[in-house]
Structure 1
Amino acid sequence: MSTSALMAAFWRPLRKMIKDRGVSRAKLRRQLCLSESALSELLNGKRATAPSWDVVTTILRACGEMEDSAFIHWRKTLTNLETELDVVAARQQSERPQALAEPAESAESAESADCSVCTDEYEDERFRSYIRELSSDGWRIRSFSAAARVLAGRRPVLRRDAEKLVENELESREELEVLRDSFDGIARRMLAGLGAGVRRACHVHRVGLLRAAHTILLLEGGVRSPALDSVWADDPAPDGVDVEGLFGTVLGDGTLASGALPITDVPYIDHRARLLAHYTEFAEQWAKAETRPVAEEATAVYEARLAELAADCPELFVWASMLDGPKAVRALDACPTGEARDRLESLYREVHARNGGLDGLEILLRALSRKTTPGVWPARLSEIYRYELNCPISPIGETGDDEPTPHIPRLAKGYVNPAFRTAVHSPGGMPHVDAWWSTRPLSEEIQGFLAAHLTGFPTVRPLIVLGDPGAGKSLLTRLLAARLPPEDYLPIRIELRNVSADVDILEQIRQALRHATLMDVTWATVTELSDGVLPVLIFDGFDELLQASGADHWRYLQDIADFQQASARSGLPVAAIVTSRTVVADQAKFPDNSVIIRLEPFDASRIARWTDTWNSANAGYFRRNALPPLRRDLGALYPDLAAQPLLLLMLALYFGVEQGTGPIQVDPASMSRVDLYERLLRLFVRRQIIKLEPRLRPEALEERIENELDLLSVIAAAMFNRGRQGVSAEEADNDLRFLRAPDNRAACPEAGLVFGRFFFIHEARATSKRGTARRWYEFLHATFGEHLVARKIARTLAHCPDHGPHDGLLFDLLSHSLLTDRAQIIDNLRDFLPTWEAVRPLFPTALDERSAESRTGYTARPARVTHRHACYSANLLLLALARGQVVNFSELTDDTADPVAQWSEHALLWKSQLPPDSWDAFTRAVGSVPQRAIVGKAEGRRDIALCLNRHELPETASRAAWVLDPPGGETTPEGEEPLSTGDRWHETLRRSRLLYDRDVELVLEPALPVFEELNDLTSAYTVDPFGQGASVAHALVALLLCEPAPARDLTTRYEACLRALDTSVGPWAKERLVALVSHRLAGESDRLPANFVSDAVWTLANEWTSTRPISNKDERTPLHLLSVACRLLARAPDEQLAVTAARLLALEPASVVSHLAIGSGSDAHVPDTMSTGRVLALLFRLIETIAEPGTRALSGLRLLKLAVALDQREWCDEHGTRVLDMLDTTVLEGLLPSEEEYVRGRWGGTFDE
């Protein structure tokens, strides 16, 4: 039975009762507060909803029916009516044809398909309470009751059942099962026919339905969660469980319904992780069992219901960002097998089969849109923008001549959907930095992302689309405006270069509408005739406002967000999308939490796909001209160009035109980078000139081509000299007056005329209220400018030196910025410069004052004379090295000058004048090696070998010998004698630190303690047999910091320190050197070669005993040397070590040698500790028998200290009493506290006595 039949059956007996009882209709009208027509409509059953019980009781009382039985009867009848109406409504919604399968509707049916909320006064009022929240974060439907009010609508029984569900008690397991059964039934009744309701609703009300449905799904995962089972594992619930709080968390205004929404700015896998964390938090609060499995099961319930519901309502599928590869597979796996899953799979295949022209976006949005006749303005603007689909993707194919050229693909076919990365802006974000974007996830399906964004909640903040020049941002906006279905959307594309820059948003919209429609219409006019659709404002080219306008647009994006929120508060939510170049993203304030995407360069697969489209569009052209199709691997051959769509189009046009008209076909893989760019630029300059002047003679045409390329080179140099990627029209006009080739006879045009002729130059334009246009220019890709700068420098250098205009022009080109700031320029110069000989006569005078003939008066930006000369001389050096060969600095200087002095003069100037970043890039690029000339008159003279990008010596290599070598090249005999600077360390520091140079201070900081503690060692230098020199302090620090033996070059470092003992340092410094080396040697002598250790101990001991009386020195050094000698003598006899031990103990060497040799030999196979003890015993016997009385006590003390150091406990136990008898109290005072404690522990009372 239909709704109308049910209503007629209900009202028929009531209408008859009123008539039979003679009730006055006027009186009844007053009691019900209805007009005559409204009363007639009510009594005739013409309304679609059941009356309230108050209406029925008023009619019964008016008819005199006061018996309880009458009231009971009619209350039951009304309840039955409400139930039957709910059933009919659910059946009608579920039987509605689904997306992608709905037949075409007639105009009559379309007229009745208006928004089910907007056309119903009751429904509209029910939603209106939420609309005020649109200006913040959208509808926050965070409880079951709120979701039920939105979804139940005019189904009173369902509303009442939902209210009763919230009023239930939850005290036992039985009540939990009842709750679950009731919730499941009510949830399914609420969500029945959701897809049809969503597709009938306008965008504003659609969002409320989707969020309410999502709240029900979140709650369903919690209600069916094992967390509730664990609470009632013991029935009833145990004491201490807050049952009321649990019920409030699940169905009240608690936290379970406030889970994360599936929004477009996070991948589905991230959304799932946030959802899992949400359920985990719920489980941790209530579950007794392990929380992770509980949360996983709740998430699985949510996913299954989301997929099941998404099959009926694809908006949820899109909204959850599941249209991207593996995420969609997860959704399909969770969806039950059947008709719903088949529809979902069909939608998935349909969208993913369309990977170009955003036609998949249109298919998706049309499948989800309302079936209604679009309004006047949405239809008209959509028709205007759809015209773009059949236009070429770029106008660059237009030539103006009659020669056949390749066809430029149409926008609908030639646009390849890009990959992209997404981010949500937050404080500290750096969307202008490529490295920051590399940390963001890569997404492939931009159609699903845009559909999800537009069908979700895009009316709070703008979506910001970033990309490089030529990445296709403007093409994306053209396609987006064309693809939006007018039934649901009102697209308005605002090209910011064509509207006034210093007016408000509304005025910019008005100007954009006038530009599109050729009519003076306002925003209010358009929106008033566009009920139920979502206006989408597409702002294209925000970077043009930033670069070209003189006004401050720091808050422009925030102004758009403010406009959106103000519109929402007035009842007209608006979506906004803004495009801009990535590099200028730091010049504007991004609204907090705004979604940003960056279009990625093409990868190999997209380049191949674009190439296939190109080849398909030009199959006839290739066939007529006997040309091969465009290679699919252009991305590998030219990665800088092919990765950007517009530059890829240039490559395709070049190979199509050049191969079709040239006498010889050139394989793209055989061309150098410079050759390709030169051919590319000449081809398009030629085409543009022929288009403007088709009758030029060949000679005149070539002259014009060269003139145009020179003009472009001037603009490129203007950008390079200012250290930017762009230049204003005023700056370009200024440089065109100064930087043109001196032999260029053509008239100097204005910058606007130069740039207007070439498509590969991007012009940013902003217009003020007064109509004044400000322009900013840059190349579509930085590599074009880098090529032209290198070309300009090379052609100018070829005419130098002329002591006139070419010299002056070269100075102007090279005296503002370093070439190493743009390393690609140097790489290009390698191919442009046949030789570096032209630099040779220029460098010696690079720092001289410019002659009057070479002064031009040009300046790109304020700069000191010293800065310009520093840049000029450094760039001349880079030109000399650009070919890649090694150049000796003496080849660039005057023959009479010392190359080292000249290098120091230039290098100090460069460091002082260049910006830190430029100096750093220069030092990274220029490698240097100190050397001496080996032939000619300068044989033996110091020189510096230079080469680009080759650093053959480590930064820590010592250059002391080379620096201290006299300028004339006279070296010390065989390079072995020590050197000395004659400088004191404090003098060196004074000269260096007066500079207050950052690098000097950073280098000196860790070395300052060396100057303080080893001051005399810093001014003495030594040279090894190979001519390598270093200070004594350098040799000592290198040894002390070396890895323990057996390190690779440890012995070499020891030898350097031992060799330093022959220098002229003072006795205190030598004593300190011996002490430190001895201490190091004592710790690792067992791991070094025995012969080396023997020689080292011999040298150190000689130095120790040769300077002052032994009694005046620190006892640690002889102990270290003695410990090394004893351990080594215990392993094998060694006369040199025996003599050393004797001298350190003030014994007669011959006696020690004879006794130790016999002792060592007899104990050859005794363990080390015993052998060492035997050596100590023999030495003690000699002290007792042959030592001089005056030194015996001191020698005995030293031997005792040695035994303690070697931990010879058995020796101490055996000889303790005799040693103490030898030493008096005064001598024992020489023991260190640790040594005294050791001895006291062994001898106890004997020591005290």
Structure 2
Amino acid sequence: MIVGAGLAPAEAAISAVWGWIDQKKEAHGLLGAALDKVSDRILDTGLLKRHELVVAAHTALAMSAFFEVIAESPIGTALTEAGISDREKLLLAGAPLDIVDHTIQSLYRLEVPIPSAVTPFAQNRENIAAWATLMAEDVSRFVHSVLYDELYDEDSDDDVNPEQQLRESKQFGTQAQQRVGAATEALYRSSYLDFAAKVPEFKIWADLVEHAGTQSALARMEQLLSATVKELPAHRDLAAIVRRLDQATLRGPVLDAATDGYGTGVTFPSLEELFVDPRCKSISFGKGGSPIGDDTFWQINVSETGDLGTVLARHFSSARATTQPLLLLGHPGAGKSLVTKVLAARLPDWGFPTVRVPLRHVEANATIAVQIQQALDASTHNRVSWHDLVEQTADRIRVVLLDGLDELLQAGTGQHADYLHQVVEFQRTEAALDRPVAVVVTSRTLVVDRLSLPSGIPLIRLEEFDTNRIKEWVRRWNLAQADPASPTMPVNFALRYFKLAAQPLLLLLLTLYRTTHEHTQKTVELSSARLYENLITDYARREVSKKSSRRLDGGEYDSAVETQIRTLAIAAFGMFNRGRQDITEADLTVDLQSLEEPQTAPTGERVLGEFFFIHTPEAREVSSIRRSYEFLHATFGEYLVARHIVDELHEAAHSAFSGRRRQEPRADMLLALLSHQPLAIQTPILRFLDDRLETLDQREIETIRDTLDLLLRNHRRRGMTHAYTKYAPQEPDTLRTLTCYVANLVLLRIRRAFGRTGVATKTLFPGSDPMDTWRSVVDLWRAGLDEQGYHAMLTAVDLVDGEHVAREGLRGSVTRLQHLHHARLRGDHALVSQLRLAHIVGGNSVYIVQRGSPATRMREWVDYFRAWTAAAWGEPDGIPPLALALPPKLPSGTPAPTSESDVLRRTASLLIAFSGEVSHQHAPALTSWLNELRAHALTWRDADLARQLHRAADIATARTQGTAEPGDRPQDRSTAWETILAVHCHKIEDNGESEPVFEGIPVLPGITR
């Protein structure tokens, strides 16, 4: 029954429901014995079957707890005393089909909450209580219908009083249903803990395994999961081959460094020695969530951090692991790729054979299965086939680690916003073939809002190091320095720069910097940008010293160092403009020649020297060696791009303002470099630009600002020809060239160094109609950029009060609502209103507010309300979006404009119509909303409106307390529908001002962005 039963026909299903309720303790005793047998069977089963048994046992455990509580409730008592016979129970199978279908679907298809990576046991207990409450509501509704039919059944037993039973069963209201939920949770908890004593998975989910302090290289996860599987006998196991290679990576140095250890004599520890398990936060993605890329989302929605090893162990042992990917997020340098390397080596291959797929090294537009095979070919030298690996490990759960989705987005020419949906489909196909796969995908947090996320997908975000982890990391680093003469890292130095040391990559760079600059005065302050600058400058100096055949004097030496850094910057631009994470030596050589840069190495020798942040993979082709270069981490390239842009802005400003008269800036290099990709696709470049610009003095800032103004004003007359036309990192495209150049000029001009409140449109585009010019520019972006670039611009630029172009636009996914966001950025309020209504009526509730004056915020809210009311009629629980959206606060005593007051009066009438129908879980939010709105009415001294809202609040409060009968309402639906139409048709007079584009804010529960 526990593991094999599917959905029965309606008659058997209803009979089974009665069986659960009627049999009481006897049924639950039988279930307990069955669970004991299952627990014994689980311990002696292969991982895949074991996984299925564990999930089935958990479901049965929860269902048992629920029906045991129901049997002792007024519902169970009423049915027992009613004496309904088996014949009558089967006769009920002929009840109205909608009642049968609803009950079967609710009781057999309502998913039982189960612990997972993002839902530990403690939280799942709350979910069980909520689930049981909903189940009780469905059972109550069904029993009411049964007793109602019995009341009018002429053949019913004369000794039974159905009317009395029906009256007594009505006492089983909202509060009683909630008591069932609480009692079910308590019984579930007790049974669960008994089961956890026998089944390791239950113990992992409840985090009952003793912790052992700060863990190394996810050893805790390996320990926990090893307890759930039996080690297989030794034989030629393809999974073991892959794991041996992954373990070799774990034992290798944390960096592929030059043998001289960066010229300092340091010894780089192995990844296994140095990796400190980070803290993490976890949550499920919901349609009503805030922008995930925003730190505010994690601060508001996730209060606790967890141990990464424990969270991952919960995930891989849970039912969700093979149905949805786990998305592992982190900021640049947080250690996402290192986590996947450690995971691949630590997951026990006899239970979880693992394949790691670095997405930067596979074909971006290939299917997921092909990408997996390409990764296997590269890592095993074509020794392992994905198909053979799957078939050989059919009794196990395979794990695929897709590392670097953000890099795939940059490298691909196709549309990858739905990549995670492709992963879900891949998992669904594999599961249908009885070959389930768990998938982990990593990505930068900053780009995740450009993706379409499957609802319910588990999210984990790596957190920064705390003080203890910084100390532990430094201790391990120093321990690896076996030579007493080797420089070590003082803990106090790391803690002094806590903001840098809290990020694993920057902690490593800080350590390398300290080993080179032991003599540095302690008064020198470091930022992340300055740290990158110092490290890159150190590299350039070493390269110049190694390559020079003679000692260079001061000026000559400085020039050679700068040339070396420019070569690095051109390499970084070559990668960025090609949408890649690497560049071939041939392409780099052509780029340097096209940009008339001096060559730093003779033909046939390396253009870039070996260094800890430069990889140089080589492939031998017939008689030549094909080299390519890539940075250890993308942030090195991003910093170099930002640095080079500021240098070129200096040059352009000097050409325009150094003489007695202002001249047209000579910006050919800027045009050549900035006309292929919008900088917005890599947000760290923009942040490095901000940091770099803020190091300049005020005079430099002003001349660069004025130079950008000149370039923007003349961009239509400038033409796209320049001195470096041979520089062609992409195929020629005149429209893209102009579009990228203008987009990048706008992004540069709105940097915070030039004004923190934004730039007026008339400053950007002086003339008779600045807004018309601005709108044409925004339309140009949509026409000339690819999807990734266009969406990136929508999230990087904002329009405030129709006048100021500002940095940081919408913080959230723009894929689904791109047309609405485009209209907002253009300042086209009429089109925004039409699109919003279309989206909401189509089922996509939208809740975004803009920056701007109180008047514009109020008008925006009213506009939303018009659209929401038009869509509210189709909501099964009344109007939850309306119940959760508050109007903007205005100063006390501010009179509401007539148009807004009229809308609010109609809204109050509409809310009264719905307040008796809203479900009990939404009623508290509705009550709070009504009281808040009533306070606004009092602020506006509108007593009549306040009374109407007070009336609606009373009705909603009664629903909250369970004292209102479902269906009670003081106004019929036809009148409410007229209200909806009246609100929808209401028009607001245009005061002639352009509408602002608003930024995304955290979205309240129940609201879909």
Tell me the TM-score normalised to structure 1 length: 0.48
SS at match of 2:398: strand
| Residue 476 (str. 1) matches residue 339 (str. 2) | yes
Question: Residues 485, 855 of structure 1: CA spacing in aligned structure 2 closer, same or farther, 3 A cutoff?
Answer: closer
Q: Deviations over 1:1004-1045 (max 9, x none)?
A: 9x99xxxxxxxxxxxxxxxxxxxxxxxxxxxxxxxxx99989
Q: Describe how 1:740-1139 pairs up with structure 2 within 5 A.
A: 744=598, 746=600, 760=613, 779-780=634-635, 782-783=638-639, 785-794=641-650, 797=653, 807-809=666-668, 812=671, 822=686, 825=689, 827-833=691-697, 835-836=699-700, 862=734, 915=778
2:325 touches 2:457 (CA, 8 Å); kept in 1?
Answer: yes
1:379 alignment counterpart: 240
Matched, 1:658 2:514: no
After superposition, the C-alpha distances for 1:416-455 in whole angstroms (9 at most, x for unaligned) are 3341333347699966666666665364232222222222
Contact 2:694 2:753 in 1 (8 A): yes
- For 1:261, the equivalent position in structure 2 comes to 113
* 1:200-250: CA deviation from partner (whole Å, max 9, x where unpaired): 21122112321232133223313432652535668961478999599999x
Give the whole-Å Cα distance in 1 for the aligned partners of 2:182 and 2:769: 69
Question: Residues 924 and 316 of structure 1: is their aligned pair in 2 closer, same or farther, counting only changes over 3 Å?
Answer: same
Q: 2:538 aligned with 1:683, yes or no?
A: yes
Which residue number in structure 1 is paired with residue 985 of structure 2?
Answer: none
Q: Find 1:536's aligned residue among 380, 396, 399.
A: 399
Q: What is the letter of the counterpart of residue 451 of structure 1?
A: A
Same amino acid, percent of matched pairs: 22
Question: Partner of 2:188 in structure 1?
Answer: 302
In structure 2, distance between residues paired with 1:201 and 1:669 = 62
Distance 1:390 1:997 in 2: 57
Instruction: Work out the CA distance in 2 between the residues paired with 1:843 and 1:510.
Output: 48
| 1:111-158, Cα deviation, whole Å (9 max, x unpaired) | xxxxxxxxxxxxxxx99x96xxxxxxxx97999x999xxxxxxxxxxx
User: What is the CA deviation profile of residues 1160-1215 of structure 1, one whole-angstrom value per residue up to 9, with x for unaligned ones?
Assistant: xxxxxxxxxxxxxxxxxxxxxxxxxxxxxxxxxxxxxxxxxxxxxxxxxxxxxxxx
State the one-letter code of the partner of 2:133.
T
CA displacement at 1:309 relative to structure 2: 0.9
What is the match of residue 569 of structure 1? 432
SS at match of 1:370: coil
Q: What pairs up with 1:583-662 in 2 under 5 angstroms? A: 583-585=446-448, 592-593=454-455, 595-605=457-467, 608-609=470-471, 611-617=473-479, 625=487, 628-629=490-491, 631-633=493-495, 636=498, 639=499, 641-659=500-518
The residue that corresponds to 1:513 in the other structure is 376
Q: State whether residues 655 and 665 of structure 2, in contact with CA within 8 Å, keep that contact through their aligned partners in structure 1.
A: yes
Deviation of residue 388 (structure 1)? 2.2
The superposition leaves residues 451-498 of structure 1 with CA deviations (integer Å, 9 ceiling, x where unpaired) of 222222333343333434333222122111111123322222233444
- Judge conservation of contact 2:273–2:476 (CA < 8 Å) in 1: no
- The alpha-carbon distance between structure 1 residues 701 and 202, as it changes in their structure 2 partners (threshold 3 A), is farther
Asked whether the equivalents of residues 489 and 536 of structure 1 are also in contact (C-alpha less than 8 Å), the reply is yes
> Which residue of 666, 670, 673 maps to 2:525?
670
Cα RMSD of the aligned pairs, angstroms, is: 6.2
Q: 2:353 aligns with which of 479, 490, 495?
A: 490
Equivalent residue in structure 2 for 1:192, among 28, 36, 41: 36
CA distance in 2, matches of 1:468, 1:780: 11
Equivalences, count: 733
Could you tell me which of 351, 356, 367 is aligned with 2:216?
356
For 1:452, give the aligned amino acid: R
Does structure 2 retain, via aligned residues, the 8 Å contact 1:791–1:832?
Answer: no
Which AA in structure 2 matches 1:312? K
| Matches of 1:366 and 1:453, distance apart in 2 | 14
* Corresponding residue number in structure 2 for 1:1026: none
Decide whether the 8 Å contact of 2:652 with 2:707 is kept in 1.
no
Give, in whole Å, the separation in 2 of the partners of 1:246 and 1:622. Answer: 88
TM-superposed deviation, 1:679: 1.4
Structure 1 position 419 matched with structure 2 position 280: yes
1:327-476 equivalences under 5 Å are: 344=208, 347-350=209-212, 353-373=213-233, 375-377=235-237, 378-396=239-257, 399=260, 403-424=264-285, 440-441=301-302, 443-457=305-319, 458-476=321-339
Q: Please state whether the residue corresponding to 1:376 is helix, strand or coil.
A: coil
Q: 1:630 to 1:862 in 2, by over 3 A?
A: farther
SS in 1 for 2:113: coil
> What corresponds to 2:66 in structure 1?
222
Aligned counterparts of 1:427 and 1:1000: Cα–Cα separation in 2: 26
Matches within 5 A, 1:659-738: 659=518, 664-667=519-522, 670-671=525-526, 675-686=530-541, 693=547, 697=551, 703-714=559-570, 736=592
- Structure 2 gaps of 5+ residues are 94-99, 141-168, 620-624, 780-792, 808-825, 833-851, 857-889, 895-1009
Verify the 8 A CA contact 2:328 2:440 in the aligned structure 1: yes
C-alpha distance in structure 2 between counterparts of 1:530 and 1:257, whole Å: 31
CA distance in 2, matches of 1:205, 1:764: 43
Higher RCO, 1 vs 2 (CA within 8 Å, ≥6 residues apart): 2
CA change 1:530–1:412 in 2 (3 A) is farther
CA 1:725–1:188: 2 relative to 1, 3 Å = same
With 433-442 and 814-823 compared, the bigger mean Cα shift is at 814-823
Whether the 8 Å CA contact 2:69–2:180 is kept in 1: the answer is: yes
Counterpart code for 2:129: L
Q: 1:470 to 1:362 in 2, by over 3 A?
A: same
Structure 1 residue aligned with 2:53: 209
Pair 882,738 (structure 1): closer, same or farther in 2 beyond 3 Å:
farther
Task: Compute the displacement of 1:305 (Å).
Answer: 0.9
Report the Cα distance in structure 2 between the residues aligned to 1:806 and 1:383, rounded to whole angstroms: 59
1:882-902 superposed Cα distances (whole Å, 9 cap, x missing partner) = 6999xxx9xxxxxxxxx9999
Match of 2:200 among 283, 307, 314: 314
SS at match of 1:237: helix
Displacement of 1:682 in angstroms is 0.9
Q: 1:197 to 1:842 in 2, by over 3 A?
A: closer
Answer yes or no: is the 8 Å Cα contact 2:574–2:591 preserved in 1. yes
1:273 aligns with 2:126: yes
Q: Find the aligned partners of 1:902 and 1:679 in 2 and give their Cα distance.
A: 39
- Judged with a 3 Å threshold, the aligned counterparts in structure 2 of structure 1 residues 838 and 569 are, in CA distance, closer, same or farther, namely closer
Contact 2:365 2:414 (C-alpha < 8 Å) held by counterparts: yes
Equivalent pair of 2:330/2:461 in contact (CA under 8 Å): yes
Residues 554-607 of structure 1 deviation map (CA, whole Å, 9 limit, x = unaligned): 6655554444434333333333333344455567665x4563424334153476
Deviations 1:277-312 (A, max 9, x none): 222234444575633333212210101110121122
CA contact (8 A) 2:537 2:561 kept: yes
For residue 725 of structure 1, report the CA deviation from its aligned partner: 11
CA contact (8 A) 1:406 1:657 kept: no
Distance in 2 of aligned mates of 1:565 and 1:842:
55
Pair 1:520–1:170, CA change in 2 (3 A):
closer
The SS at the match of 2:666 is helix
Mapping of residues 95-134 of structure 1, within 5 Å: none
Structure 1 counterpart of 2:349, one-letter code: P
Pair 900,923 (structure 1): closer, same or farther in 2 beyond 3 Å: closer
**Partner SS state of residue 356, structure 2:** strand
SS at match of 2:268: coil
1:1122-1161 alignment runs, 5 A limit: none
Give distance in 2, aligned partners of 1:900 and 1:302: 66
